């Protein structure tokens, strides 16, 4: 079986995000029966690296992947995550745009984020109300930790379905251009 490497983009600034990313990554791998291996940038950013080295490391990781899950949570999208999405689009990497934040923040489209972050080839949206999922997973009966684990498992199943959908889409053809080389040059790498 050929495992596709999937970049998991999103916030990684506190323990809640770090733990959530790790849990979702493990469940995507598990629920896909190994079809997808998740690359977590947080695992490749030693504190000793400078800002440019961290940026370059993240882009290298992204460009070595065959797909990406872009986490679009928050009242304002994380600017680094948006940049990673745009880099993925320039490299024609299939992307799942994932939002679990139940707050709405969109304009003039069905996606609950800025319209400039939508409508790209080989991209699909997955919007899941995290609070609804948490309640549906029975937090009142089984406790918050177990309900959270169940919610992550269910979310991973949905993400895997969307990954299957987006990786099956035909690439955007550009004759004679190595996208990764062009993007690395654009980024000064």
Question: Are 93 and 182 a contacting pair, CB within 8 Å?
Answer: no
Dist CA 172 CA 189 (whole Å): 23
H or E stretch at 185: helix 179-186
Residue bearing the bigger pLDDT, 3 or 139: 3
Q: Binning pLDDT at 50, 70 and 90, where does residue 187 land?
A: low
Sign of CA dihedral 57, 63, 67, 68: positive
> In the predicted model, what is the mean pLDDT of residues 174-179?
66
Highest mean pLDDT among 11-15, 16-20, 160-164: 160-164
Backbone angles phi, psi at 169, to 5 degrees: -75, 145
Q: Binning pLDDT at 50, 70 and 90, where does residue 23 land?
A: very high
Collapsing DSSP to helix, strand or coil, 37 comes out as: strand
Dist CA 107 CA 183 (whole Å): 29
Residue 97 to residues 2, 77, 92, 114, 174: CA-CA distances in angstroms?
23, 12, 14, 12, 24
According to DSSP, the residues that pair with 9 across neighbouring strands are: 70
pTM for the complete prediction? Answer: 0.90
Task: Provide CATH code, domain 4-186.
Answer: 3.40.50.450
pLDDT at position 184: 63
For 55-58, which contacts have Cβ atoms below 8 Å and span 24 or more sequence positions?
Answer: 56/187, 56/189, 58/84
């Amino acid at each position: 079986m050929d495992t596709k490497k999937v970049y998991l983009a999103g916030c990684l600034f506190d323990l809640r995000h770090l733990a959530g990313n790790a849990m979702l990554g493990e469940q995507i791998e598990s629920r896909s029966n190994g079809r997808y291996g998740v690359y977590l940038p947080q695992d490749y950013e030693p504190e000793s690296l400078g800002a440019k080295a961290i940026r370059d490391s993240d882009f290298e990781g992204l460009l070595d992947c065959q797909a990406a899950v872009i986490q679009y949570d928050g009242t304002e999208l994380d600017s680094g995550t948006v940049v990673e999405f745009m880099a993925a689009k320039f490299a024609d990497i299939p992307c799942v745009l994932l939002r679990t934040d139940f707050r709405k923040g969109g304009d003039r489209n069905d996606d609950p984020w800025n319209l400039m972050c939508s409508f790209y080839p080989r991209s699909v949206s997955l919007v899941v109300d995290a609070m609804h999922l948490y309640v549906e997973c029975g937090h009142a009966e089984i406790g918050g930790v177990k309900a959270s684990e169940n919610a992550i498992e269910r979310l991973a199943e949905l993400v895997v379905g969307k990954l299957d959908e987006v990786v099956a889409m035909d690439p955007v053809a550009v004759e004679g251009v190595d996208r990764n080389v062009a993007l690395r040059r654009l980024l000064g790498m």
